[in-house]
Amino acid sequence: MTHFKTAEEILFGWVTRVCSANPDEIAALYHENAVLIPTFSPHTVMGPVAIREYFAQLATREGMGVRLHSKALRKHILSDSISTISGIYSFEFEVDGVLLSFPSRFSFVVDISQPKPIIHHHSSQVPRNLS
């Protein structure tokens, strides 16, 4: 596993891997003790096997992809190796033959000193306005 130099590199690598629909490569980014609060499940997912299973299920969606909204990125450096990065991305995949987009908020806690740098990942669909 390649060490990443920045939180942005980790995020861009994650997006690329999700778009390639390879759950093994996606799960390889998550630390052994990682916590994933996923977009499309009500359950928190912990550990490499469960994280891989979540992304394997997501990869079965036709047209699966993620589009990053780069202007919404926010990064906070917490130490020499630990950062948070958050923002908006949109999952896109087909539902009943129609390509749909699911804008979602995300936050990652990453440790660039680790070969599996994602420590925590939270993602949730952007809520609709109440008005």
Set out the domains of the chain in order of their start, with CATH numbers: 7-125 (3.10.450.50)
> Is residue 129 predicted with pLDDT exceeding 80?
no
Report pLDDT for 111. 97
pTM of the predicted structure, to 2 decimals: 0.92
Query: Which pLDDT tens digit goes with each residue over 43-60?
Result: 999 998 999 999 999 999
> Is residue 1 predicted with pLDDT exceeding 60?
no
CA–CA distance, 26 with 65 (Å, rounded to integer): 13
Half-sphere exposure of 94 (CA within 13 A, CB side): 7
Report pLDDT for 31. 97
Q: What is the strand order of the sheet 98-111 is part of?
A: 45-46, 30-37, 118-125, 98-111, 82-95, 65-77
Give the pLDDT mean for 101-126. 96
Tell me what the pLDDT averaged over the chain comes to: 94
